[in-house]
């Protein structure tokens, strides 16, 4: 790890209704917000005891079964693939929250305990009313038509392998200690991403065990770790990081809760760019190198370069998809792509 962690901006004394979003966005990297949610009722309950936090969550439970991953002791809390990568090293099921909490309580003193991980539970659906005293205010103009999605992450110790998300993220450590190991997007080349599917949580993950890296098998992982930023959070702290930053998330305590807020920075009609990547794998990757080089220039011209360049010499009436996209043009483009794929 390098000294970048010492350079991460740290904001102290920020209130949940006074988040300086312009400052966060200007950094284009991780920002720590110490004590941002220290007054949340769930944080206060967790400081009393893990049982108090469980009781508060249980009191707000919708009663619907929740998804949980259960990993055996040998995994050492690393939720990952099995040995031959044909499946996962944990089991998943849906059950009552009260049953999961009972199992966590019963096993907390057992050195050979199983690990429990409830990930990405939708706050309002799973815990109605909890938001009333455990929320942030998103009053920046970016959120005028794009309110963040709130998720809850609950369980014992766990390690979620490094992955990236399309949304930007503001993650709040509520109960237990949590460690984020963050990598800028360009480190994808050194993180040895796994298969596009199946994936443990819906996102491509690194195949490197970052806590015990095998540098013979993954030599470029040294470069990734040199670029890594490590952020340690205590209950009440939060960390912001932008879209596409890789992050490994470790829940370090016997019982942990995190609430995060995800938001997209692009219009919803753009969808998931990974769909385009998969289409490009099918249509471009295996062409001759000379053709691939030519197609790289085409993508640079139409996609990654200035939107003005391909259309500045064309009359507006014939710009078509090269013009600024509106809902009608998006629908037409989708129909065109769908028809071409179905041929």
Q: Which helix (H) or strand (E) holds 154?
A: strand 149-155
> Are residues 248 and 276 both part of a single domain?
no
Full domain range(s) for residue 323 = 270-341
Percent of the chain with pLDDT over 70: 98
Contact 182, 229 (CB under 8 A): yes
To the nearest whole number, what is the mean pLDDT of the chain? 94
Residue 150's pLDDT band (boundaries 50, 70, 90)?
A: very high
Report the CATH number that the domain containing residue 234 is assigned in CATH.
2.60.120.10
pLDDT of residue 266: 83
Residue 314's alpha-carbon distances to 15, 130, 260, 332, in angstroms, are: 50, 54, 45, 20
Residues 212, 112, single domain; the answer is yes
The predicted-structure confidence for 301-327, as pLDDT tens digits, reads as follows 999 999 999 999 999 999 999 999 888
Q: How many domains does the chain have?
A: 2
Do 337 and 307 share a structural domain? yes
Q: How confident is the model at residue 5 (pLDDT cuts 50, 70, 90)?
A: very low
Let me know whether 205 and 286 are in one domain: no
Spatial separation of the C-alpha atoms in residues 124 and 62, rounded to whole Å: 9
Domain end marker among 265, 283, 318: 265
Chain segment 46-70, per-residue pLDDT in tens: 999 999 999 999 999 999 999 999 9
303 and 168 inside one domain: no
Please check whether residues 124 and 223 belong to one and the same domain: yes
3-class SS at 230? strand
Name 150's bridge partners.
Answer: 261
- Single pTM value for the model: 0.94
Q: Which residue has the tokens 């009609």?
A: 269
217 with 294, same domain? no
The three-state secondary structure class of 116 is: strand
Mean pLDDT of 274-291: 94
End residue of a domain, out of 265, 283, 305 = 265
User: Which phi and psi (to 5°) does residue 35 adopt?
Assistant: 70, 15
pLDDT band at 340 (very low <50, low <70, confident <90, very high): confident
Do residues 141 and 227 share a domain? yes
Same domain, 282 and 235: no
Given a cut of 80, is residue 268 above it in pLDDT? Answer: no
**pLDDT single digits (tens) 226-260:** 999 999 999 999 999 999 999 999 999 999 999 99
The string of DSSP letters for 181-213 reads EEE-GGGGGGS-B--SSS-SSSS-BBSS-TTS-
221, 289: one domain: no
Same domain, 182 and 314: no
Which residue among 265, 293, 310 closes a domain?
265
Looking at the DSSP bridge assignments, the partners of residue 137 are none
Helix (H, G, I), strand (E, B) or coil at 67: strand
**Residue-wise pLDDT tens digits, 95-138:** 999 999 999 999 988 889 999 999 999 999 999 999 999 999 99
Residue 312 Cα distances to 78, 103, 316, angstroms? 52, 64, 9
- 163 and 309 both lie in a single domain: no
């Amino acid at each position: 790890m390098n000294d970048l962690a010492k350079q991460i901006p740290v904001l102290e004394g920020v209130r949940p209704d006074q988040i300086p979003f312009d400052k966060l966005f200007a950094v284009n990297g991780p920002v720590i917000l110490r004590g941002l949610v220290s007054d949340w009722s769930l944080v206060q309950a967790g400081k009393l005891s893990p049982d108090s936090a469980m009781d508060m969550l249980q009191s707000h439970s919708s009663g619907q079964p929740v998804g949980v991953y259960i990993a055996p002791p040998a995994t050492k809390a690393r939720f990952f693939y099995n040995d031959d990568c044909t499946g996962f090293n944990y089991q998943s099921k849906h059950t009552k929250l009260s049953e999961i909490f009972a199992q966590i309580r019963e096993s907390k003193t057992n050195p050979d305990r199983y690990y429990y991980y409830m990930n990405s539970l939708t706050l309002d659906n799973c815990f109605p009313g909890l938001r009333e005293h455990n929320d942030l205010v998103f009053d920046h103009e970016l959120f005028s038509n794009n309110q963040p999605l709130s998720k809850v992450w609950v369980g014992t110790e766990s390690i979620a392998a490094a992955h990236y998300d399309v949304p930007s993220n503001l993650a709040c450590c509520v109960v237990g200690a949590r460690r984020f190991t963050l990598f800028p997007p360009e480190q994808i080349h050194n993180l040895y991403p796994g298969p596009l599917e199946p994936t443990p949580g819906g996102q491509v993950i690194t195949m490197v065990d970052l806590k015990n890296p095998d540098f013979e098998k993954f030599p470029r992982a040294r470069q990734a770790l040199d670029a890594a930023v490590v952020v340690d959070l205590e209950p009440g702290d939060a960390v912001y990081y932008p879209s596409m930053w890789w992050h490994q998330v470790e829940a370090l305590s016997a019982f942990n809760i995190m609430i995060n807020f995800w938001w997209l920075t692009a219009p919803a009609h753009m969808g998931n760019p990974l769909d385009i990547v998969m289409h490009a794998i099918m249509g471009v990757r295996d062409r001759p190198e000379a053709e691939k080089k030519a197609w790289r220039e085409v993508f640079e011209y139409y996609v990654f370069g200035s939107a003005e360049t391909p259309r500045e010499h064309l009359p507006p009436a014939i710009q078509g998809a090269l013009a600024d996209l509106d809902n009608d043009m998006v629908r037409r483009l989708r129909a065109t792509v769908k028809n071409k794929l179905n041929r």
